[in-house]
A and B are shown apart, each in its own frame.
Chain A
Amino acid sequence: MTTHKKQRIVQLTLSYLVIVAMIAIILYPILWIVGSSFNPGNSLSGSSIIPKDATLAHYKELFDLEKSDYLRWYWNTMKICILTMIFSVILVCLTAYSFSRFRFVGRKNGLMTFLILQMIPNFAALIAIYALANLTGLLDTHLALILVYTGGAIPMNTYLMKGYLDTIPKELDESAKIDGAGNFRIFWQIVMPLAKPMIAVISLFTFIMPFTDFILARILLRTEEKFTLAVGLYELIADQFGNEFTKFAAGSVLIAVPISLLFLSLQKYFVSGLTAGGTKG
Chain B
Amino acid sequence: MGDQGNQYSGNHRKIALALSVIPGLGQFYNKQWLKGIVFLVLTASFFIAFSDLIQYGFWGLVTLGTDTQFDHSIVLLVEGILTLIVTVLGLGIYVFNLRDAFKVGKQRDKGEKPNSVRSQYQNLVGGGFPYLMMTPGFLLLIFVVIFPILFVILLSFTNYDLYHSPPANLVDWIGFQNFIDIFKIPIWRETFFSVLAWTVIWTFGATTLQIALGIFLAVLMNQKGIIFQRTIRTIFILPWAVPAFVSILVFAGMFNETFGTINNDILAIFGLGNIPWLTDPTYTKIALIMIQTWLGFPFIFAMVTGVLQSIPNELYEAADVDGATIMQKFKSITLPLVLYATAPILITQYTFNFNNFNVIFLFNGGGPAVPGQNAGGTDILISWIYSLTMTSAQYGKAAAITMILSLIVIVVALWQFRRTKSFQEEDMM
> Which residues of A are interface residues toward B (Cβ below 8 A)?
8, 11-12, 15-16, 18-19, 22-23, 25-27, 29-30, 32-33, 36, 43-45, 49, 91-92, 94-95, 97-98, 101-102, 104, 107-108, 110-112, 115-117, 119-132, 135, 147-148, 150-152, 154-155, 158, 163, 166, 183, 187, 211-212, 214-215, 219, 230, 233-234, 237, 241-242, 245, 248-249, 252, 255-256, 259-260, 263-264, 267, 271, 274-275, 277-281
Given contacts A119-B409, A121-B355, contact A32 B254 (CB under 8 A): yes
Q: Are B245 and A131 in contact (CB under 8 A)?
A: no
With a cutoff of 8 Å between Cβ atoms, the chain A residues found around residue B155 in the complex are 127-128
B243-263 CB mask vs A (1 if < 8 Å, else 0) is: 111110111111010110100
A215 to B238 Cα, complex, angstroms? 24
With a cutoff of 8 Å between Cβ atoms, the chain A residues found around residue B136 in the complex are 91, 94
B66 at the interface (CB under 8 A from A): no
Given contacts A12-B225, A91-B140, A151-B141, contact A131 B151 (CB under 8 A): yes
B51 at the interface (CB under 8 A from A): no
> Which residues of B are interface residues toward A (Cβ below 8 A)?
74-75, 78, 126-127, 129-131, 133-134, 136-138, 140-141, 143-149, 151-152, 155, 217, 220-221, 223, 225-226, 232, 234-247, 249-254, 256, 258-259, 261, 265, 294, 299, 302-303, 306, 326, 342, 344-345, 347-348, 351, 355, 357-358, 361-362, 382, 385-386, 389-390, 395, 398-399, 402, 405-406, 409-410, 413-414, 417, 420, 422-423, 427-429
Given contacts A125-B149, A127-B398, contact A44 B259 (CB under 8 A): yes
- Among A33, A127, A259, which residue has its beta carbon within 8 angstroms of that of B241? A259
A233 to B302 Cα, complex, angstroms? 29
Q: Are A267 and B302 in contact (CB under 8 A)?
A: yes
A3 to B147 Cα, complex, angstroms? 69
Minimum Cβ distance to chain B for residue A191 (Å): 12
With a cutoff of 8 Å between Cβ atoms, the chain A residues found around residue B141 in the complex are 117, 151, 154-155
Q: Are A132 and B417 in contact (CB under 8 A)?
A: no
Minimum Cβ distance to chain B for residue A150 (Å): 6
Q: Are A148 and B144 in contact (CB under 8 A)?
A: yes
Minimum Cβ distance to chain A for residue B212 (Å): 13
Closest 6 CB pairs of A and B: A151-B144, A278-B345, A128-B148, A125-B148, A128-B151, A98-B130
- Among B241, B345, B414, B417, which residue has its beta carbon within 8 angstroms of that of A263? B241
Q: Are A26 and B238 in contact (CB under 8 A)?
A: yes
Q: List 27 A-B contacts (CB under 8 A).
A: A12-B226, A16-B226, A18-B220, A22-B217, A91-B140, A111-B429, A120-B149, A124-B355, A124-B382, A131-B151, A132-B78, A135-B78, A150-B144, A163-B428, A166-B428, A187-B133, A212-B358, A214-B362, A215-B358, A234-B249, A237-B252, A256-B242, A264-B234, A264-B241, A271-B302, A271-B303, A274-B303
